[in-house]
Structure 1
Amino acid sequence: MSPASASIRQRLLALGEPCAAQPAADWQGDIALPAELERFYREVGPLDCTLESAGNPFFLPSLARLWQRQAGYRWHGISGERLSGWQDDWLVVADQGADPFILETGSGRILFDLHGGRGWDPAPCFDDLWQMAASLACFGEVWSGAGEDILLDDCSVAPRYRQQLVGELQPILGSRQRAEDLADEFGW
């Protein structure tokens, strides 16, 4: 297991979120399991992890449930009909209130978009699965560690916790600006 994977798994476990190595045989998809996704689930292995944050929590499904989580994005959830506008090399690997984090399998990048619009136009959000998981765990850690005083009377995140989050995201994302932008994106 790589040091990055071990660190992310430890962070998720410390938040009380289950993780375990998941074999490629758990994949239920109609397409081949991308190698980086196979490695991520073997090494980090989130098992339906819910990470609290400002707004809706982040959700990282288990490998066994990952393919069914494509419903509503890749295909219609009731009819099963393939939906137009969804690229063949996109896989939803996490979400926040149905807003998808999308693995672009050709590049390994994680894209993000809001659901319910007029089609999909996701923007790059993370360099890879590991950066995404480490960042989402960071949101969960700051949220859970802050306690009840994380929100101000107007329901915005208290500035000291935003600054803590940005400071902890900076080494993960490689720059303070990217950390600030990510905090903004998710309502911090």
Structure 2
Amino acid sequence: MHEATQALRQFLVDQGLSLRTQDAGEWQGDMPLPADIARFYREIGPDNCNLETAGNPFFIPSLSRLWRLQAGYRWHGISGERLTDWHDDWLVVADQSGDPFIFEISSGRVLHDRHGGGTWQPAPLFSDLEQMIACLACFDATWRSAGEDIFLDDFSVNPVHRDRLIDALLPILGERGTAQSLAEEFGW
């Protein structure tokens, strides 16, 4: 495991995320497990993580549950019929109340889209899986440390905590504008 991966894993452990090394044998999919996904679960190992944020929590399943998360995106959740507007190159790796974080197998990027728009038109959000989980963990850490002070009287996020989130995202994303855009994307 690389030093950067070890540091990320320690950061996630310090944030209280449930992690465990997961072997490719836990994969339940009917397609080959992408190498980047196998490495992510082997080295980072999110184990059904719920990460708090303004709004509904982010959810990152264990590897054994990852294939089931594809229902409603890759295939119809009741009939099992393959949905034609879902690309073979996409694999949902996390969600927020039905809004998918989509691993693009060919590029390694993580895309994001909102459900209910009629057709899927996801946009790039993270450069890779590690950046995704690190950023989502920053939302969770900032949320939890803020306590009841998180919202103002009008139920908007307190700017003090929004700024703290942006400061936490900055070393991961590299640019303040990118960190601000990500905070805005998720209601901060």
Question: What whole-Å deviation, never above 9, does each CA across 1:18-37 have from its counterpart, x for those lacking one?
Answer: 10000000001111111111
Render the CA deviation track for 1:86-114: whole Å, top value 9, x for unaligned: 00010000011110000000000000000
Q: Alpha-carbon deviations, 1:42-80, whole Å to 9, x = none?
A: 010000000000001011000000001000000001110
Q: Which residue of 2 aligns with 1:109?
A: 109
Unaligned 5+ segments in structure 1 are none
Task: Report the alpha carbon displacement of residue 15 of structure 1 after superposing the two structures with TM.
Answer: 3.1
* TM-score, structure 2 normalization: 0.97
**Residues of 2 paired with 1:137 and 1:5: CA distance?**
15
Structure 2 match to 1:167? 167
For the aligned residue pairs, the C-alpha RMSD in angstroms reads: 0.9
Q: Secondary structure at the match of 1:67?
A: helix
Distance 2:130 2:2 in 1: 11
Residue 179 of structure 1 corresponds to 179
Structure 2 residue aligned with 1:26: 26
Report the Cα offset of residue 154 of structure 1. Answer: 1.0
Cα deviation, 1:90-148, whole Å, max 9, x if unaligned, reads 00000111100000000000000001111100000000000001000010010111111
Distance 1:166 1:61 in 2: 26
> Is the contact between residue 5 and residue 40 of structure 1 (CA under 8 Å) also seen in structure 2?
no
Equivalenced residue count is: 188
Asked if residue 13 in structure 1 is aligned to residue 13 in structure 2, the reply is yes
Q: Distance in 2 between matches of 1:154 and 1:3?
A: 43
Aligned residue for 2:54, secondary structure, equals: coil
For 2:6 and 2:56, the matched residues in 1 are separated by 26
- In percent, how many aligned pairs have the same letter? 61
- What is the aligned partner in structure 1 of residue 73 from structure 2? 73
Counterpart of 1:82, as a letter, is R
> 1:58 aligned to 2:58?
yes
Rounded to whole Å, the distance in 1 between the matches of 2:7 and 2:120 is: 33
**Paired residue secondary structure (1:80):** coil
What is the distance in 2 between the residues matched to 1:5 and 1:97? 28
TM-score, length basis structure 1? 0.97
Alpha-carbon distance in structure 2 between the residues aligned to 1:137 and 1:9: 11
Q: Match of 1:107, SS? A: coil
**Residue 86 (structure 2) pairs with residue 86 (structure 1):** yes
